């Protein structure tokens, strides 16, 4: 591989600019946004820093090339043209993950099988033996994305997607992905220097991600990465990651701001407690049973309220009318808290009017397959004081080394 790698980090649609900002902070260069991800250049140590520290990226991919792949035979020939012997050995295990969009092929399993066949046949021809497939814990993960007749092939530096931080030991229905929660916090300008409240905390994802930010803890500190097992880069990657992990642990800090979560569902609250404990943030995050429409007084220091209210399936009877009533009461509750700015991820078109407040800013994004809007509301001024300032939510002005998003074929989306 070249000294500086051309890489592609995937993210939820609508958060590409947030990831671009983060990558720049982590030392990436020649940053360019695409739909569903960001392309950038990085040295090996910079790429590993991204794997360890990125809170928003879902995957960090090393692209091998793009090819025309017509029919099953064209697919096979395209894959066989890649010099796999530069990335694998006969002793290396690998797995293929395929995604399709508008393709003549209807099954990802068929595409993955053709890719696998081409890889092992090329390795047998070049090295005299074929590597084994290990779908669960491969040394090298090959990512194939086929859009119509255009095939993209990449190697995944991370292995397991980066949203799998390791703390979600007990999920709840339709949980928010960790990476999307972190993106919401960045959009709201949260840096860990102010209090954070989630009045409908569910399994606790927003609070845990906020706690990691306040603690200055690397989100990937407790996991391994696939690149550590790559034949030609593994030894160097392990050495660099050992140093990066040690440095990350030395620079953690104590949390001095309140991190509070409420939920009226006892099962959700128990899930949150177990996840918070698994994240080793039990001393930092305080959880209690409570109704978001009847919150107790919050600390006068103020801060950020960020929440992801139900889109409709958890409200029981009443239908859309019941949801509007709930959103109306929620607005009365949250906007009556002096010094606390309110940000809401809404997946229901009825939310904004029912909340009966004009948002200061908005962002359209995707929570998995659901189109959502992140709405930011100004804080109610503290009596005798000034309204707290907040970072604007709109798409930030592009820096000189971040190009505008290009309307290309959709890449892998893991929102």
Q: Summarize pLDDT for 114-151 with one digit per residue, the tens.
A: 999 999 999 999 999 999 999 999 999 999 999 999 99
Residues 6+ apart with CB under 8 A from 2: none
Check residue 359 and report its DSSP letter: -
pLDDT value of residue 399: 33
Q: Cα(26)–Cα(248) distance, rounded to whole angstroms? A: 13
Percent of the chain with pLDDT over 90: 82
Name the burial class of residue 102, with classes exposed (0-12), middle (13-18) and buried (19+) by CB atoms within 10 angstroms of its CB.
Answer: exposed
> In this structure, what are the phi and psi dihedrals at residue 344, rounded to the nearest 5 degrees?
-130, 130
Q: In this predicted structure, which of 295-299, 329-333, 380-384 has the lowest mean pLDDT? A: 380-384
More confident residue, 388 or 254: 254
Model pLDDT for residues 6-40, shown as the tens digit of each residue: 999 999 999 999 999 999 999 999 999 999 999 99
Kindly state the tokens that stand for 248.
Answer: 């990350």
> In this structure, what are the phi and psi dihedrals at residue 138, rounded to the nearest 5 degrees?
-75, 155
Q: Cα(99)–Cα(97) distance, rounded to whole angstroms? A: 7
> In 3D, which of 203, 199, 213, 232 has the Cα closest to residue 55?
213
Check residue 214 and report its DSSP letter: H
**Residues 344-374, buried b or exposed e (16+ Cβ, 10 A)?**
bbbbbeebbebbebebbbebebbbeeeebbb
pLDDT value of residue 372: 96
Q: Average pLDDT in the 221-244 region?
A: 96
Model pLDDT for residues 40-54, shown as the tens digit of each residue: 999 999 999 999 999
Taking phi over 0 as left and psi of -120 to 50 as alpha, with beta for the rest, 3 belongs to alpha
Q: Cα(258)–Cα(83) distance, rounded to whole angstroms? A: 53
**Above 80 in pLDDT, residue 340?**
yes
> In 3D, which of 242, 62, 83 has the Cα closest to residue 153?
62
More confident residue, 406 or 16: 16
Q: Cα(181)–Cα(183) distance, rounded to whole angstroms? A: 5
Q: Cα(205)–Cα(187) distance, rounded to whole angstroms? A: 16
pLDDT band with cut points at 50, 70 and 90 for residue 382? low
Q: Average pLDDT in the 319-323 region?
A: 83
């Amino acid at each position: 591989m070249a000294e500086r790698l051309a890489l592609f980090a995937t993210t939820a649609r609508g958060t590409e600019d947030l990831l671009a900002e983060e990558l720049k902070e982590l030392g990436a260069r020649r940053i360019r946004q695409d739909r569903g991800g960001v392309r950038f250049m990085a040295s090996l140590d910079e790429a590993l820093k991204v794997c360890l520290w990125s809170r928003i990226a879902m995957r960090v991919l090393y692209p091998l090339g793009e090819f025309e792949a017509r029919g099953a035979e064209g697919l096979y020939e395209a894959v066989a043209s890649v010099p796999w012997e530069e990335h694998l050995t006969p002793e290396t295990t690998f797995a293929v993950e395929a995604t399709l969009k508008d393709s003549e092929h209807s099954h990802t399993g068929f595409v993955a099988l053709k890719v696998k066949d081409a890889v092992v046949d090329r390795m047998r021809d070049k090295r005299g033996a074929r590597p084994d497939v290990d779908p669960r814990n491969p040394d090298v993960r090959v990512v194939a994305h086929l859009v119509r007749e255009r095939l993209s092939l990449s190697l995944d530096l991370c292995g397991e997607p980066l949203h799998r931080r390791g703390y979600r030991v007990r999920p709840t229905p339709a949980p928010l992905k960790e990476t999307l929660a972190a993106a919401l916090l960045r959009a709201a300008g949260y840096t860990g220097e102010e209090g954070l409240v989630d009045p409908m905390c569910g399994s606790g994802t927003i609070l845990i991600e906020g706690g990691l930010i306040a603690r200055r803890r690397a989100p990937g500190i407790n996991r391994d990465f696939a690149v550590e097992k790559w034949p030609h880069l593994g030894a160097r990657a392990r050495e660099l990651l050992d140093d990066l992990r040690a440095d990350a642990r030395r620079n953690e800090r104590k949390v001095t701001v309140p991190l509070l979560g409420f939920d009226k569902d006892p099962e959700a609250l128990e899930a949150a407690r177990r996840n918070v404990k698994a994240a080793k943030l039990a001393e930092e995050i305080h959880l209690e049973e409570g109704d978001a429409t009847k919150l107790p007084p919050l600390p006068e220091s103020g801060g950020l309220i960020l929440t992801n209210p139900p889109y409709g399936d958890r409200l029981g009877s009443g239908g859309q009318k019941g949801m509007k009533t709930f959103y109306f009461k929620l607005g009365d509750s949250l906007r009556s808290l002096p010094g606390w700015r309110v940000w809401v991820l809404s997946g229901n078109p009825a939310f904004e009017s029912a909340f009966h407040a004009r948002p200061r800013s908005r962002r359209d994004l995707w929570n998995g397959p659901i189109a959502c809007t992140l709405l930011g509301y100004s804080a109610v001024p503290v009596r005798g004081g000034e309204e707290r300032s907040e970072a604007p939510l709109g798409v930030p002005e592009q820096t000189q080394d971040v190009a505008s998003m290009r309307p290309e074929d959709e890449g892998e989306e893991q929102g």
